[in-house]
Structures are given as C-alpha cells and as structure tokens.
Amino acid sequence: PKSASEYTAHLRNGFRNGTNFRFFDPPLVSLTNLMPDAPGEYFQVQLRTNYRESDRLPWGLKFGTLRHFSSSGVATQVDFTDLTQPHTWYPCARRKSRNVVLHVGPTNSGKTHHALKQLESSSSGVYCGPLRLLAWEVAKRLNKAKVPCDLITGQEREEVDGAQHKAVTVEMADVTSDYDCAVIDEMQMLGCRTRGFSFTRAILGISANELHLCGDAAAVPLIQEILKVTGDNVKVHHYDRLLPLVPLKVPLGSFSNIETGDCIVTFSRRMIYRLKKQIENGGKHLCSVVYGSLPPETRTRQATMFNDASSEFDVLVASDAIGMGLNLNISRIIFSTLMKFDGMEHRQLTIPEIKQIAGRAGRYGSKFPFGEVTCLDREDLPLVHSALDSPSPIIKEHFAENAKLSANYFIANCEDMLKVAAIIDELPLGLHDKFLFCISPVDVNDEISFQGLTQFAQNYAKNGIVRLREIFTPGTLQVPKTPTALQELESIHKVLDLYVWLSFRLEDSFPDRELASSQKALCSISGRGAEALDDSTPRIAERSTNRGTTRGAGGASQRVTCVIRESK
C-alpha cells in the first residue's frame, strides 16, 4: 500500500480473508479486530509465529508495536495490553467443538491411566506433561502398546516411523495441529506463577476432538469458568484412591524405626545426603535418593533400584520431586520437616503440597496393601492430619499491573527472564535471538548454569557459532566425593542440557548436539556416584579472563570451564 487509505483497506480486506501480514520477522500478524476508519484509529492484533519458543511468552501472546498511519499521515504508536480474551488467540481450537473431560482425583486414583487409555485408542493424539520424565514414560507406554509415539521435549526429539501420536512437555505443545485426542496431565499447574501460562495455553489452544485434563479438584472451577466462552462440552469424572491412605497418629521419632518401603521427605540436597548417611550408618538399610536437580536418567535409575524387590536399596530419601513423574513402591511417607525454601523464602508446605507428597504412599499393584503417612517429629502431625482432611484450596484469579486481564487469568512470574534479559540485552543480538535466550531453560540461581548461558550468548553474538569446546575442555573425569562436587556435576548437566535445547532452535550455530548429549550421559554418572562413588565426575575450574567476562550470579567475572572426556 502506498497511502494511508490503501493501507487501511489492505488490512481490512486481509482481516475478512484471514490473511497473515508479515510486519516483522519472524512473527506473523493476523488482525482480530478492526476499529472504525477514522483519524487516530488503531487495530487490535494477534501475533502468531512459526517458532515454538516465540509462542511461549508468559501470557501466550508475543507483543509488538503496530504503527497505524491515519489519513493525515501521522504515525500513531499503540501499546497492546488488552488480554481479556485469550481464548481467541487459538483459531484452530476455536474451529472445533471440543469434548473436554476432566479426570479429577487424588494421587494414585487411576485418573491419568483412564485418560491414557483413551489416547491409546485414538487415531492421533498428544500427551502433554509437566516433566520430561512423564513424557518419556508415556512415549514408552504407547510404543510398548504398539501405538507409535514420538517424544518431543525441549532437549530431546525421538521420532518413530509412522507415528501419529506425540508425548511432549507442556511447553512444546503444538496449538496449530489437529488431533483426535489430547491429554494434559497435572492440570492444576495452571495456577503456577512460573509455568501456569504453558498449561493455560495448552488447555485453551490444543485443537483436539477430545481433550482429557487430569489433576486435582482445586483446578476444576477455574477451568470450567475459562472454558465457558470456548464452546467446548465439559464433563467431570471423579476418582477415589485405589488404595487407602492412613495418617498415623504416632511419629517416627527415630531413624532406628525406619522400615523397608519407607520414603523420608526433606527439601534440600544437603539434608537428603545427611539423612541417607544417617540411615545407612544404622547398618539395616541402603537408600536411593531422588531430588529435582538430579538428571532425569539418574532419577529413573534411583527409582528402579528402590522399586526392585531384589535390590538392597529398600529405603528412599527424597524431596518433593517424588510428587510427579515417578512410579514408586512406597509403603510409608515420612515428613522430616514441613518447611521448605521455595526460591524466595522459607515457608510451610501448602495443603496441596502435603497431599501430593503424602499421596505417593500405597501404589496400586505394589506389595503394599495401603499407604501410610507420618512425620519425624510429633509437633508436625496435626498439620499433616489437617491437610489430608481438607479439600485443596480453589485456584483463584490474580491480577498484574499495566495489563487488562479477564478475572480468570494472571500474568506469569517473569523474574527469571528479566534476570537473563539484564545480561543479554547488552549483547549485539536481534530481538528474536535475545528473546530466545531469555526463555531458555536456565537455572538463574545456579551460578555455573547461569554463566554457561551467558558464555553461550556472548560467543553466539561474537562469532555466530558456539562450539562446546569453547566452554568444556577435554580431560580426565573424577568421582564426586563430596556434596559440593556432586552439586557442580549437576550444574554441568544443566549447562549441557541448555546447549542441547539451543541446538534444536539454532541448529547451525550450536552444531555439537551429539557431543553435548554424550557428555550429558556421562554426567548422569552422578547418580552412580550417589550410589557407590566409584566412577568419575567432571572437575570444575573457574578462571578469570578478559574475554567472556560476565556479570553473572554473585557478581563474579569468570569464564566457566569444565574438564570432560571425549566420548568414544
């Protein structure tokens, strides 16, 4: 268009015809509402993108500025903050009248099993879970059932010939494809301030004839409310526990009272290994360990040892990471404490957290006919008993400043992205590349992981290509003989994970995916280090350098290097 009037007519015709307009690369802009033609008029727009990572802003919408030229030729800049109708952002889903089934019940009630049976019998489908481990388990289950299923997470892509089904982490959900059936697990996580946007996006945006949502009853009222405007048919199926859960009236009191099948829950790596050592020093039991920063492969191996009746590892010491993603033959859950640090403050466990963890006791099909839950100390028992007798608080709406929202939504917590942005914004990168690094899966509270991201971004900005050897130097692996060494190894695994994630999005610029993946496998030896400390672990060395100076966590001006061994 050469004039303002032609420009306006061009947009209006495009709106009527459903045309996409490329205002800037890579996002595509499609008009959702056109205001009357008048000086100073503005357009409400929806931005879409072919890039999965750009489709994952906290509110599910990539914002930009549209300059509209009035008839006087004066450019007017408009800030788009009206987020009151997010269901309109997903046209593929809105073209369907979806049958939505909510499978509601406590842990170990079989709700997800029923949903997955529907997925197995469908002609095409997708499973969306909160953890890679859950996606792995579902992909394995479907492939074993002769239903070819791809595995797609931020760091892995395993494609199966002829597959019409996918198991993905919820952030990787495709809202532009049509499915016969879709399953979203742990639906109550739409209330999470950091990841809730991904669940909201999947619930509103997945285009499936049948959509099965599994999780806690706390999410039901909100989900029913936000689906009122979508035209979907919503049903709720309730499930009871398959085995009873018995809250004990007597505390454990002493670790000398530990029995086979027990799981002791605590909330820090240091306490996990301290309790493991204390229990094993009693000479009666060996302990597997499970916590969030363990690599998924290691967590799976630890769980397998605990579940194996022929294994000597008959007790589990774990964090709340056991709440999702692992099938564990636990007889009794024992809370060593009801306080945890959530990244911001030390606080008491919430009712849903207590119920989620306690519910892991008494797995259906195991040798234990029921589950039990107690505490190490007597003073913690009343809270556990009260939580198990109470319904989970209903997930409520939240508000954020400077954005117009429907009462059913809240803006996700962007603090981690802002910390990354403070570093990345200084680099000579385009907006899309900066955004990509900002949404990458980096642990900003882990100094090595954060510095790894910074180094990747700096090298990418300077050279356009990032070789793994610029961060990792070949050398000899050593055993993690201390908790500090083990923590460093876990941090290295996070850096390698980050490299793999970036390689799927900037393939030509991060060409060492296979090497990074092989080193991830070597880092998973940390689990064996936790079991026997008889293998080897990377040695961390940090050296100051003028090149690659970072303003990373702790204010350190360091370039992180790690000694690794080339895999044969």
Helix (H, G, I), strand (E, B) or coil at 515: helix
**Does the pLDDT of residue 68 top 50, yes or no?**
no
Question: Which secondary structure element, helix H or strand E, spans residue 450, and what is its range?
Answer: helix 447-463
> What is the number of structural domains in the chain?
4
CA angle 382, 383, 385 (to 5 degrees): 65
Q: What band does 247 get if pLDDT is binned at 50, 70 and 90?
A: very high
Which whole-number Å values give the CA distances from 289 to 266, 300, 320, 531, in the listed order? 11, 10, 12, 9
Verify that 93 and 76 share a domain, yes or no.
no
- For residue 240, give the amino acid letter: D
- Which residue among 171, 205, 238 closes a domain? 238
Q: What band does 87 get if pLDDT is binned at 50, 70 and 90?
A: confident
**Does the pLDDT of residue 117 top 80, yes or no?**
yes
* 393 vs 302 pLDDT, higher one: 302
Q: What is the pTM of this model?
A: 0.62
Verify that 100 and 195 share a domain, yes or no.
yes
Contact 43, 68 (CB under 8 A): yes
Pull the structure tokens for residue 355.
């119920």
Verify that 143 and 259 share a domain, yes or no.
no
Kindly report the CATH number assigned to the domain that includes residue 326: 3.40.50.300
Q: What is the pLDDT of residue 284?
A: 94
Q: What band does 297 get if pLDDT is binned at 50, 70 and 90?
A: confident
Asked if residue 127 belongs to a domain, the reply is yes
Verify that 197 and 98 share a domain, yes or no.
yes
Which whole-number Å values give the CA distances from 70 to 9, 15, 443, 483, in the listed order? 12, 18, 46, 65
Q: What band does 406 get if pLDDT is binned at 50, 70 and 90?
A: low
Q: What band does 103 get if pLDDT is binned at 50, 70 and 90?
A: very high
Cα–Cα distance between 20 and 188 in angstroms, integer?
Answer: 34
Contact 339, 350 (CB under 8 A): no
Contact 55, 62 (CB under 8 A): yes
Verify that 151 and 44 share a domain, yes or no.
no
Question: For all residues of the chain together, what is the average pLDDT?
Answer: 77
Question: Given 3-state DSSP classes, what are the helix, strand and coil percentages for the chain, each rounded to the nearest 5?
Answer: 35, 20, 40
Domain that holds residue 226: 89-238
Q: What band does 44 get if pLDDT is binned at 50, 70 and 90?
A: very low
Verify that 169 and 200 share a domain, yes or no.
yes
Q: Any residues with CB less than 8 A from the CB of 338 and at least 6 apart, and which?
A: 348, 349, 354, 375, 380, 383, 384
Q: What is the pLDDT of residues 189-207, one digit of tens each?
A: 988 877 888 999 999 999 9
Verify that 76 and 124 share a domain, yes or no.
no
**Does the pLDDT of residue 448 top 80, yes or no?**
yes
Verify that 250 and 364 share a domain, yes or no.
yes
Q: What is the pLDDT of residues 362-404, one digit of tens each?
A: 988 788 889 999 999 999 999 999 889 888 777 754 333 334 4
Verify that 223 and 279 share a domain, yes or no.
no
**Does the pLDDT of residue 478 top 80, yes or no?**
no
Asked if residue 370 belongs to a domain, the reply is yes
**Does the pLDDT of residue 20 top 60, yes or no?**
no
Cα–Cα distance between 428 and 463 in angstroms, integer?
Answer: 11
* 376 vs 514 pLDDT, higher one: 376
User: 107-116, 259-268, 370-379, 438-447: which range is least confident on average?
Assistant: 438-447
Highest mean pLDDT among 87-96, 440-449, 511-520: 87-96
Strands 178-184 and 82-83, by their bridges, are unpaired
Mean pLDDT for the stretch of residues 91-113: 94
Helix (H, G, I), strand (E, B) or coil at 412: coil
Verify that 346 and 372 share a domain, yes or no.
yes
Cα–Cα distance between 414 and 436 in angstroms, integer?
Answer: 14
* 227 vs 345 pLDDT, higher one: 227
Q: What is the pLDDT of residue 38?
A: 32
Helix axes 132-144, 111-120, angle to 10 degrees: 50
User: 94-108, 286-300, 310-324: which range is least confident on average?
Assistant: 286-300
**Does the pLDDT of residue 425 top 50, yes or no?**
yes
Asked if residue 407 belongs to a domain, the reply is no
Helix axes 447-463, 483-505, angle to 10 degrees: 30
Cα–Cα distance between 499 and 520 in angstroms, integer?
Answer: 10
Asked if residue 400 belongs to a domain, the reply is no
Verify that 514 and 437 share a domain, yes or no.
yes
**Does the pLDDT of residue 89 top 70, yes or no?**
yes
Pull the structure tokens for residue 400.
């954020």
- Which residue among 182, 207, 238 closes a domain? 238
Asked if residue 552 belongs to a domain, the reply is yes
Q: What is the pLDDT of residue 317?
A: 97
Asked if residue 402 belongs to a domain, the reply is no
Verify that 162 and 43 share a domain, yes or no.
no
% the chain with pLDDT above 90: 44
Asked if residue 399 belongs to a domain, the reply is no
Asked if residue 401 belongs to a domain, the reply is no
- Which residue among 177, 207, 238 closes a domain? 238
